[in-house]
């Protein structure tokens, strides 16, 4: 990764990520502590999510049928 690539990334804090995903912020907080959360970074006391990781997390949860066996649950 080149040095300027970092400036092309978009990071969201927990509440912003929750809005982006249409989830309550408490769901992301719970998933972080219990497992199954999208990838995140902890910067001191601040949690941030890379938008690309949020998209990847949603993509990994896609199903084609209600009978599909999820590898992880929300």
Query: pLDDT digit string (tens) for 11-69?
Result: 999 999 999 999 999 999 999 999 999 999 999 999 999 999 999 999 999 988 888 77
CB 24, CB 15: distance < 8 Å: no
Q: Which of 25, 56, 51, 53 is nearest to 39 (CA)?
A: 53
Tell me the Cα Rg of the chain: 14
72: pLDDT strictly greater than 60: no
Query: pLDDT digit string (tens) for 3-18?
Result: 666 567 789 999 999 9
Domains belonging to the chain, first-starting first, are: 3-59 (1.10.10)
Residue 68 is predicted with a pLDDT of 79
């Amino acid at each position: 990764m080149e040095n300027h690539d970092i400036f092309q990334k978009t990071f969201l804090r927990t509440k912003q990520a929750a809005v982006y995903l249409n989830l309550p912020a408490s769901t992301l907080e719970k998933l972080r502590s219990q497992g199954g959360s999208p990838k995140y970074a902890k910067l001191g006391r601040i949690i941030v999510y890379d938008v690309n990781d949020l998209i990847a997390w949603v993509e990994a949860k896609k199903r084609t049928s209600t009978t599909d066996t999820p590898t992880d649950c929300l």
